[in-house]
A and B are shown apart, each in its own frame.
Chain A
Amino acid sequence: MSQWTVEGPERITIDDAVRALHVRIIEGRVNVVAAEGPARLEVTELQGDPLHVTVVDGVLTVTYKDINSWGEFGDWLKSVGSVKSFFGSLKRKRVAGITLTVPADTEVKLGTVSAGTTVSGVTGHVSVQSANGDTTLVGLTGRTDANTVTGDVDAQSVGGQLRVNTVSGQLTVVAGTADRVQANAVTGAVTLDLDVDGEADVKVTTVSGPVVVRIPSRADAKVEAGSTSGDISSSFEQLKLSGSWGAKKLSGQLGEGRGKLNVTTVSGSVTVLSRPEPEDDGPAKELPAGSGKPDFTKEA
């Protein structure tokens, strides 16, 4: 077991093998980048309390001393006493900018209040919980769970299994290759751009958030999209609209109907679009699916 207390900007190379990463902070920014070599921690900004860093049985934990377990963190978010402590913590502002470099197969678990998070290139299970922080997910290929209250979730080239719950944050999936996507939102808009060649299981549920799903024109799925009072539109001719007054339903089968696309919303609108064929991929700024490496040529 190794242990550090970080009181200001600092860089630490962790020589212990790391198989899991747990980060729990309040405000600021958390970046997790997969790379070869030992795990590294870089604290670029720190206000308020010192950070407590431990490695126990391959679990690298970065948090404050008073938030030392998930259970307490949960209570801290939920209970009445937590509100007091929350406002207390506002008084003593706790801001941390952290960047972690970990092996690609690390299991990553991030929890923040208002800190934004970025996770890139990880193949292990990634779980992000945030109240108002934005979440950016890039090139993940394992299981990914993201839960936010007001924070937006942007996912680019995310494969594997993606599950997102948000209240008012909007979810945007760019060039998603996940074959299982589950998105739940209350008022947040859901924009899914999926590029899955095989069968995919996509399920979107919102209350008033509008939903746009773009799937390949040669998609193979049974489609069912229903809205109680929202508009429904589609660029697939195979999909038929039923229901005139009140609830409307768009349903049909694309290809052999092996996959599933279900969209359910109460008052949100639903649009199902077909993705342009690869050769006329002009206006959309897209990365080659699955590469997980963003294009940085513009970073001059």
Chain B
Amino acid sequence: MTPVFGHGRLRLYLLKLLDEAPRHGYEVIRLLEERFQGLYAPSAGTVYPRLAKLEQEGLVTHSTEGGRKVYRLTDAGRAELEARQGELDELELEIRDSVAQLAGAIREDVRDSAKDLREELWKAAKQTPRPDRAERAERAGDPWAGPWGDNDSWQRAKDEFAEFKRQAKDQAKRAREQEKAAKAKAKAAEEEARRLREQAKASRTAAQQEALRIKRRVEQQVREHAAKGDWPTGLAEGLAELTKGLSGLADAARWGHPSDEPAPSDERITVTRIDLDEDEPAAPADLPAWTRTDPAEDPARELERLLDRFRDQVRDAARDGGVSGDKLAEARRVLGAAGERLKRLLG
């Protein structure tokens, strides 16, 4: 350190400080330190002996205040200071010089610190691993080689870009394929709808034709009976026939999917209906109410009851309508055929 205080100068400066105001030792040290911005920091071991020496010379005196010695200038001290005013001015100029030097020193010091710090931190930055990027650890954090800094990183960026492009292309392709598939699906759905519409139309037409056919047959039967003068029978039979035919038409299964099922027939209808019935087989619409049987009962007994009810029905009908020779012959034929058929069924 350039000595700020040459021989005897600290002594002079101490006198100057005490001339400003009475001060204690520590305050003097602090003031010196502050005035010279840390450039000169006299220790207690330097300052106190000097003060003691000044006191011996009679230039300062001290009093004890609050356990501390407070020094003040004596008249002799003031005289000494006045005598050496020129020297003091010179010293103050030098102190100002030292402030200018001090600022320069501060600047140099900070610049060095900053340079050291930069070197240290940038070196540390180079060695810092990149989070989650092990494969690039060797280049991690190199601050000066920007992303396009060298061939290596340029290549890497290019690769990444190529990969990105490929992915984008793939995605676009997939999207296109999906779009195509969706279009095909829509077309298929449209066709299906059209087919269903046609089917429904065909079904309607078939149903209409069947209904017409039934109507024609019934009309014919009615006409035949009417021609024979037996119109009540004709009417009854016609109505029964019509009911039967129409109930057949009403069976959705018969018209729903004609391609899936064999040609509709009366027998088929009956079978389907019985299959569909589960607990209590409802009487088919074309059978009278009295033919109802209870499946929970013994079939043999049920057959007996059925026969009883049959007899009652026929007898009631005969009593109400009267029995002619023709009717008897017809009844004989029907009962004979039914009896033979039942015998075949049960035997």
Contact = CB atoms under 8 A, between A and B. Distances in A.
B131 interface: yes
B35 A37 contact: yes
Nearest to A250: B131
Interface string A239-255: 11100110000100000
21 contacts: A33-B37, A36-B34, A44-B100, A99-B99, A154-B113, A156-B110, A174-B114, A191-B118, A229-B147, A233-B141, A234-B131, A240-B132, A245-B160, A267-B147, A271-B124, A271-B128, A273-B125, A286-B113, A294-B38, A295-B109, A299-B105
A281 to B, nearest CB: 11
B338 interface: no
Interface stretch (A70-78, A87-95, A197-205, A207-215): A207-215
A240 B132 CA distance: 8
Contacts of B105: 294, 296, 299
Contact of B114 (A101, A172, A299): A172
A285 B110 CA distance: 10
Interface in B5-52: 31, 34-35, 37-39
A114 to B, nearest CB: 15
Contact of B133 (A116, A137, A241): A241
B340 interface: no
Interface range on chain A: under 10, 10 to 19, 20 to 34, or 35 or more? Answer: 35 or more
Contacts of A141: none
Interface residues on B, range: 35 or more
B103 interface: yes
A36 B128 contact: no
A218 interface: no
A295 B38 CA distance: 8
A8 interface: no
B242 to A, nearest CB: 80
Contact of B142 (A33, A99, A231): A231
Contacts of A124: none
Interface in A254-300: 267-269, 271, 273, 283-287, 293-300
A273 B128 contact: yes
B141 A293 contact: no
B117 A191 contact: yes
Interface of A: 11, 31-33, 35-37, 40, 42, 44, 97, 99, 101, 116, 118, 120-121, 134, 136-138, 154-156, 170, 172, 174, 189, 191, 193, 208, 210-212, 214, 229-235, 237, 239-241, 244-245, 250, 267-269, 271, 273, 283-287, 293-300
B143 A212 contact: yes
A273 B121 contact: yes
A267 to B, nearest CB: 6
Identify the 5 closest CB pairs spanning chains A and B, nearest first. Answer: A31-B103, A233-B141, A210-B143, A271-B125, A172-B114
A210 B145 CA distance: 10
Contacts of A297: 1
A230 B118 contact: no
Nearest to A291: B38
Contact of A241 (B111, B115, B125, B132): B132
